[in-house]
Amino acid sequence: MSGRFAPAVCAIVLGTGVGAGIGAGVGVAWAATEHVVIQKHRSFRPGEVTVKAGDTVAFLNDDFYDHNVYSETPGSIFNIGVQTRGETTRVTLEQPGTVDILCRIHPKMKLVVTVE
């Protein structure tokens, strides 16, 4: 099919996508994905995650200890502060690249997020 007709095809696909999204209780079909990373036994689980730019990582502290997740990777700098057990904090990563995520309280904790 030539490029001339592509817009009409796109419109049909988008229309279907929105309908499906509403049916599923999601605002839009192409909404960012949420990736859950659990903090357990003083480590991140999983220890490596690959996400798309604009996706959200939800940090859940499921440990007996407080944690303080942060990153000093340029373009993805954040510090979510101290999390007590059961707390979830969400961070949206917009900048493509490799993001090193650490815990201020436990220096051995390390998570690598690849943002595509």
Please identify, using beta-carbon distances, which residue of 29 and 106 lies nearer to Cu ion.
106
Other beta carbons less than 10 A from residue 21's beta carbon: 15
* 35 binding Cu ion? (CB under 5 A): no
Binding segment toward Cu ion, per CB under 5 A, in 27-35, 61-69, 72-80, 91-99: 61-69
Please identify, using beta-carbon distances, which residue of 23 and 107 lies nearer to Cu ion.
107
Chain centre distance of CA 65: 23
Residues in contact with Cu ion by the rule CB under 5 A: 67, 103, 105-106, 109
